[in-house]
Amino acid sequence: MEHLLPRPDELAFATDLYQLTMMAAYRARPESERATSTFELFVRRLPEGRAFLVAAGLEQALAYLSELRFTGAQVDWLRTLPVFAHAHPEFFEWLRDFELTGSVDAVPEGTIVFPNEPLLRVRAPLAQAQLVETYLLATLNAQTLIASKAARVRLAAQGRTAIDFGARRAHGFGAATLATRASWIAGLDGTSNVLAAQKLGVPVLGTAAHAFIMSYEDERDAFAAYHRHYPDHCVLLIDTYDTLEGCRRAAAIGPSLKGVRLDSGDLGELSRACRAILDERGLTKTRIVASGDLNELKIAALLAEGAPIDSFGVGTELVTSRDQPALGGVYKLVERTEGDRRIPVMKLSEGKVTWPSAKQVHRVLDADGRLVRDVIELADAPAPQPPPGGRVEPLLQEVMRDGRVTAPADATDVHAARARCAAQLASLPEGLTRLEGYDPPPTEIGPALQTLADELRAARGVPDDRRPIDERKEP
Amino acid sequence: MEHLLPRPDELAFATDLYQLTMMAAYRARPESERATSTFELFVRRLPEGRAFLVAAGLEQALAYLSELRFTGAQVDWLRTLPVFAHAHPEFFEWLRDFELTGSVDAVPEGTIVFPNEPLLRVRAPLAQAQLVETYLLATLNAQTLIASKAARVRLAAQGRTAIDFGARRAHGFGAATLATRASWIAGLDGTSNVLAAQKLGVPVLGTAAHAFIMSYEDERDAFAAYHRHYPDHCVLLIDTYDTLEGCRRAAAIGPSLKGVRLDSGDLGELSRACRAILDERGLTKTRIVASGDLNELKIAALLAEGAPIDSFGVGTELVTSRDQPALGGVYKLVERTEGDRRIPVMKLSEGKVTWPSAKQVHRVLDADGRLVRDVIELADAPAPQPPPGGRVEPLLQEVMRDGRVTAPADATDVHAARARCAAQLASLPEGLTRLEGYDPPPTEIGPALQTLADELRAARGVPDDRRPIDERKEP
């Protein structure tokens, strides 16, 4: 019986086979081995229904990059593959001693990002940079996907509590735990997932299930028993039989009743009726919790109609990002070196330009700290001027140098990331915080990058049949 | 730097908090502790676009159930939670010694199932059965979701090769690995995921990326180099510049060229043109591989228009089950005991009946081995009569007794499961193998189950306000 949970010491195999076959070929070419290549990981287009993304997953990416080793057993197994029958033995010796020696820049977790903005940049020999593509994409795609969805839930719920209830619907428990992390970064208030809560230091929350209520003959006995056990944390699920009668029975507990939970029916109407029942009995501090296939649009609609709901439990829709269950992050070569010469790489196909060379994103904020625009510029070009009283902040920072993690703790700490995301959400112009009908991404290309791109375009002496196509999504 | 990959020894925490708070309350009631409860895990309705489901994930479920222990550190951590401030110390002592003593029946992996058919049944004391709900749902939901999608890809691709290319788009690498397993069970032919392939003993496949081609000045040099390295496994990616020119350049390799890969453009048109180029040069055995945001409907359309594609790489759409990214499996109490008395539990709300008591699914096959119908019946009632020359097979079998795994190896072995799924796909009537416009599920309720349900309905002496509502999705 195999749990099939990947172990940290076997993550060198967390890659696509073609990365390994390409590595063997690169290794046999001294020029590609000596050369440094620069890859950037970014999202080319926003999924429909997303005005922005929230970068997440960097801690797991750095844990992977910094500990990446092949075990002897893995190398032996590779040698048995028919595809490697003719591979040079030196390749396998090299794998046994493999360590990443490259350097990495990235945006800190919780940063709001837009299309074409690098979330992460790897500078390393080609074979190294190629190997890590798959895991980096899987890790950053997954958490950024969920953090971006969770941020919408956060915006929709306004000041109300919003909790991750999705463990049972995520794509396995590994995905559930990543979803909790991403949701916390994006500002949700806790989770029902005990393992994730313990690992992350996130509040763990829960009430009771219908099975508990139904294990008693009488709902009142179930309520009394739950209150006896959890006198200071008594949130009662009231919709097992008749919701309003359940609410009255729960209210009989008295003012120590912390909350009632609705999990079905018309949540707007029921919450208003429950609020009236509770208030009538003086239980003005008893909270109303709602759950049941909620998403950000339903939450916004409930609050717009004045539903007096204090806390939302969000499950399936959150942890699978149900309306957009995949993020199309890509990892593209943007520069290579030949000797001392840096050669920017640019894909030029119609409508799918990949911007060349290593880049920085300069966030321009006005005097009130509000986001004005992002300028995507060559990493070594000057930053744009700040507006009067405002400032300009670079988003990418060094997180790994020569194979050693150099990230400041707050780049990956979930609580720091959460604070960063909250501040950045607050800095967004209103046109980007709408759930629907939001503005396009406020990004522009810096002058140095534009000039380089224009030069490369103009100087494209390569014949038309050498123009690379673009936007590759799968191995 | 934390990988955030769940470890097998910490899976007791892979649950929702409310399971633990309910457990503490159950423990304090001797009658609920002594009583045996029976829960069934099933899917109430098929997601749109699915004519059937393929059960998968049982091996991971049994690994979890059989090894489930709380570590001392976990129990200590629970004691620090404010919600447990008033919990009886006996509860924590009991957790330290916790072992599952229950019994489990399940359908073997790779079995085709329909709504309301139990995939798994747990009989255990209530507190035990409650704890395991979250992980069982996460595990079986996730793999059954992907296996059911993969089966559609299998049907669409007909006899052609179909490969899992989705690692970078799954919800983290744990999800990627589960997706490979589920896809293999459902009949795909291999994966690009090295870790999953090694763990599962599944063929690992791949070609090369555009980065490899572009690391050479001239596409011809890249092709020659790849062929030199992989003379017997040379599949060349030909669409980096001009696809048809790429095909001609690849064809110059000669008959040892194993294949060409298309990853963009009109795959139908390009594959026909490439086939002509290859055939003209006598490369009639060189295969054409296609990839790029494929799903079962696109594959079916390509084959319907006669595209000479031999192999399909499927990524994002497969591993996220993009059109239906969540499966709504539920885990419901269907029976409890009081002393020697077995009390069937039935939810009676309008339109959402949960069928009571422990059930068996009898699959009725005709003389040609073709599925006629499934009869969902009480587990201890007689099986239906087979049609002339046909047979009846029970789907659920014992897989765990008194906490020990008793499953035959072929219930969870991925290769046995794959063979089972293939046989069952072949046994489906044509009306269920269509990708669109398929027939409704061929299930019926057996007479004993129907009688019991009618009796419970009629005898529902409970007042209307005691009628439980149904279909709970989140904690």
Separation CA A28–CA B230 (nearest Å):
13
A239 and A195 co-located in one domain: yes
Contact B198 A13 (CB under 8 A): yes
Q: Does the beta-carbon distance from B467 to A241 stay under 8 Å?
A: yes
Whether B82 has a pLDDT exceeding 70, the answer reads yes
pLDDT recorded at residue A460: 65
Nearest to B204 among A81, A192, A198 (CB): A81
Same domain for A133 and A151? no
Domain annotation covers residue A333: no
How many CB atoms lie under 10 A from the CB of residue A348? 18
Q: Which two tokens stand for residue A218?
A: 């009488």
- Element housing B135 (H / E): helix B133-157
Q: Mean per-residue pLDDT for B369-381?
A: 97
Over residues B393-409, the pLDDT tens digits come to 999 999 999 999 999 99
Sign (positive/negative) of CA torsion A428, A430, A436, A437? negative
**DSSP state string for A65-79:** HHH----HHHHHHHH
The identity of residue B473, as a single letter, is K
The answer to the question of residue B348 being in a domain is yes
The predicted structure's pLDDT at residue A234: 95
* Claim to verify: residue B276 and residue B176 sit in the same structural domain: yes
Same domain, A133 and A152: no
- Does residue B7 have a pLDDT over 80? yes
ipTM of this complex > 0.85?
yes
pLDDT at site A346: 83
Q: Evaluate whether residue A471 is within a structural domain.
A: no
Residue B146, CA distances (Å) to A17, A142, A166, B55, B115 in order: 21, 17, 18, 10, 16
Establish if A3 belongs to a structural domain. no
Q: What is the pLDDT of residues A241-258, one digit of tens each?
A: 899 999 999 999 999 999
Which residues in chain A have their CB less than 8 angstroms from residue B239's CB? 469
Q: What does the pLDDT read at residue A349? A: 56
Q: Residue A364: beta bridge partners?
A: A373, A392
pLDDT category at B469 given cuts 50, 70, 90 is very low
**Mean per-residue pLDDT for A466-475?**
43
Nearest residue to B418 (alpha-carbon basis) of B119, B190, B101, B123: B190
Looking at the structure, do residues A301 and A344 belong to the same domain, yes or no? no
Neighbours of A36 (CB within 10 A): 17
- Cβ atoms of B307 and B273 closer than 8 Å: no
Mean pLDDT, rounded, for A356-361: 96
**Interchain CB distance below 8 Å, A206 and B326:** no
Specify the 3-state DSSP secondary structure of B392.
strand
DSSP state at residue A204:
B
Q: Answer whether residue B288 shows pLDDT above 60.
A: yes
Please report the pLDDT score of residue B348 as a whole number.
Answer: 64
| Percentage with pLDDT > 90 across chain B | 85
A77-126 pLDDT per residue, tens: 999 999 999 889 999 999 999 999 999 999 999 999 999 999 999 999 99
Please check whether residue B58 is in contact with residue B407, taking contact to mean a CB–CB distance below 8 angstroms.
yes
In percent, the amount of chain A with pLDDT more than 70 equals 95
Which of chain A's residues have a Cβ under 8 Å away from the Cβ of B465? Answer: 241-242, 245
Mutation for A interface: B15, B18, B153, B318, most A CBs within 10 A? B18
- Residue A208 is predicted with a pLDDT of 87
pLDDT of B207 = 84
Residue B173 and residue A173: Cβ atoms within 8 Å? Answer: no
Does residue A193 fall inside a structural domain? Answer: yes
The contacts of residue A182 (CB under 8 Å, 6+ apart) are: A54, A56, A57, A142, A143, A144, A145, A146, A147, A150
Q: Are residues A259 and A313 in the same domain?
A: yes
B306-332: pLDDT as tens digits? 999 999 999 999 999 999 999 999 999
Distances (CA, A) of B344 to B34, B337, B348, B358: 17, 8, 12, 8
A130 and A74 share a domain? yes
pLDDT for position B111: 98
Strand partners, B259: B235, B287
Task: Please name the residue of chain A whose CA is at the shortest distance from the CA of residue B26.
Answer: A212
Over the stretch A14-62, which tens digit does the pLDDT of each residue have? 999 999 999 999 988 877 667 889 999 999 999 999 999 999 999 999 9
Judged by average pLDDT, the poorest of A118-132, A291-305, B344-358 is: B344-358
Question: Is the separation of the CB atoms in B348 and B457 below 8 Å?
Answer: yes
CA distance B388 to A311: 59
Distance from the Cα of B290 to chain A's closest Cα (Å) equals 11
**Taking CB atoms and an 8 Å limit, are A25 and B212 in contact across chains?**
yes
Residue A408 within any structural domain of the chain: yes
Residues B141 and B151 in one domain: no
Q: Mean pLDDT of all residues in chain A?
A: 93
HSE-CB for A358 with a 13 A CA cutoff: 22
Return d(Cα A141, Cα A147) in angstroms, integer: 10
Distance from CA of B158 to the nearest CA of A (A): 22
Residue B242 lies in a domain: yes
Give me the pLDDT at residue B14, please. Answer: 98
> Is A348's pLDDT higher than 70?
no
Tens of pLDDT, residue by residue over A129-173, are 999 999 999 999 999 999 999 999 999 999 999 999 999 999 999
The CATH number for A181's domain is 3.20.20.70
Give the pLDDT band of residue A276 (cuts 50, 70, 90): very high
Which runs of E-coded beta strand occur in B208-316? Answer: 235-237, 259-262, 287-290, 311-314
Spatial distance between the Cα atoms of B438 and A16, rounded to a whole number of angstroms: 35
Domain containing A171: what range? 147-319
CATH number at residue A92: 3.20.140.10
B414-436 in b/e form (b: 16+ CB < 10 A) is: bebbbebbbebbebbeeebbebe
What is the number of structural domains in chain A?
A: 2
In this prediction, residue B461 carries a pLDDT of: 53
For residue A206, list chain B residues with Cβ-Cβ distance below 8 A: 16-18, 21, 475
Q: Measuring CA to CA, which residue among B121, B116, B156 is closest to residue B352?
A: B116
Distance separating alpha carbons of residues A315 and A47, to the nearest angstrom: 20
Report whether pLDDT(B49) > 80: yes
- Which pairs from A385-393 meet CB under 8 Å and 24+ separation? A390/A364, A390/A365, A390/A366, A391/A365, A392/A362, A392/A363, A392/A364, A392/A365, A393/A362, A393/A363, A393/A365
Collapsed DSSP state (helix, strand, coil) of residue B292: coil
pLDDT at position A469 over 50: no
- Cα B7 to Cα A195, B3, B58, B64, B223, distances in angstroms: 10, 11, 18, 11, 43
| Residue B196: closest CA among B222, B164, B236, B154 | B164
- Residue A310: closest CA among A249, A262, A246, A277: A262
Q: Which of B298, B319, B340 is the last residue of a domain?
A: B319
Dig out the tokens for B438 from the structure: 């398929």
Instruction: Name which residue leads in pLDDT, B181 or A27.
Output: B181
Q: Is residue B473 situated within a structural domain? A: no
Check whether residue B94 and residue B133 sit in a common domain: yes
Task: Give yes or no for residue A465 having a pLDDT over 60.
Answer: no
Q: How confident is the model at residue B48 (pLDDT cuts 50, 70, 90)?
A: very high
Q: Is the pLDDT of residue B109 over 60?
A: yes
Are residues B220 and B330 both part of a single domain? Answer: no
How far A136 CA lies from chain B's nearest CA (Å)? 8
Confidence grade of residue A473 (pLDDT, cut at 50, 70, 90): very low
CB-CB under 8 Å, A130 with B211: yes
Contact A175 B142 (CB under 8 A): yes
